[in-house]
Structure 1
Amino acid sequence: MPLNQNKEQVMTLRVIIEVSGQELWGRIEGIGRFMPTTVGSSKKEVLDNLLMLIADYRKHEGQEDEAWGRIDPGQVAFEFAYDLQDFFQEYSILRQEKVAELSGIHPELLRQYASGEKYPLAEHAMKIEHAIHALARALLAVSVYAA
């Protein structure tokens, strides 16, 4: 689901990120009659552009779009979704072999996903996502000692 709302009325919008050369493309799908899509050189630039697009849409042609009318551009948070090829390009610091091991997926198959040669089934994508989140939790528990 692309949209989430909590008690403070902050809306969480899912931004699908794709990498093309040095550019990042971002889009929000599945809300009303509008799919804001933009490009930028950084996530911040993509998000700033999306906020401008949303505000402009609401002010002009989207005045009657109830779905977007509930969204205040000043009260949004973003979460990111990547296809695996773009994820491993954006986070090239991660070792694909370790993610494959943690997810229980053969390393060669993960390399094919990361290169765009093959596309994962939803079950494999979920296993990979869980492995990446487990790795992030493990890193959050790390303390670095300086003598």
Structure 2
Amino acid sequence: MMKTQKLKMILEKTDTGFSAFSESYAIFTTGATIPELLHNALEAVNFYFEEENIGFQAEYLKFEIDFQQFFQYYKVLNSKFLAEKIGMNPTLLSQYVQGQKKPSDKQTQKILSGIHQIGKELSEINLIHG
């Protein structure tokens, strides 16, 4: 594996938190939270490649999660709202979320772009309490 390539890890929700594994290498880990899982995954990858003197940084890991698990975990993100935000038919997005249909690469990028945009908007908001 070349260090400039991203190592794909499949992320899954479990009863006790999260797990991640590589489809290409015998690398797997768990964590109670997403931040813990990301930290543990980086440690697991570095441990796996230690004998080859390859050290990974977080930006070289690519995490993927399927639609159903993403929307089950991030319940705060309403699929109807997302569909309207990205100009997609809400019924179609719902079918993707429920696993009834599989989105094309183009549709997946459109959805992911919308999720990233919402995340960016949320990260720029400060709540007023008083």
User: Where does structure 2 lack aligned partners over 5 or more consecutive residues?
Assistant: none
Partner of residue 48, structure 1: 40
Distance in 2 of aligned mates of 1:115 and 1:23: 21
In angstroms, what is the RMSD of aligned CA positions? 3.1
Shift of 1:137: 1.7
Does residue 145 (structure 1) correspond to residue 128 (structure 2)? The answer is: yes
Partner of residue 8, structure 1: none
User: Where does structure 1 lack aligned partners over 5 or more consecutive residues?
Assistant: 6-10, 64-68
Against the structure 1 CA distance between its residues 109 and 42, is the aligned structure 2 distance closer, same or farther, given a 3 Å change threshold? Answer: same
Task: Give the aligned residue type for 1:137.
Answer: K
Distance in 2 of aligned mates of 1:103 and 1:137: 14
The runs of 4+ residues in structure 1 deviating greater than 6 Å are none
TM-score (norm 2): 0.74
TM-score (norm 1): 0.66
Shift of 1:49: 5.8
Would the aligned equivalents of 2:19 and 2:37 in 1 still touch at CA under 8 Å? no
For the pair shown, the structure with the greater C-alpha radius of gyration is 1
What is the percent sequence identity of the aligned residues?
A: 27
Shift of 1:115: 1.4
Partner of residue 66, structure 1: none
Distance in 2 of aligned mates of 1:4 and 1:112: 37
Deviations 1:33-81 (A, max 9, x none): x2413344433147426624641x345xxx4xxxxx3532xx5215532
Partner of residue 76, structure 1: 57
Deviations 1:90-142 (A, max 9, x none): 21111111111122211111111111222111111100011111111221222
Does residue 91 (structure 1) correspond to residue 85 (structure 2)? The answer is: no
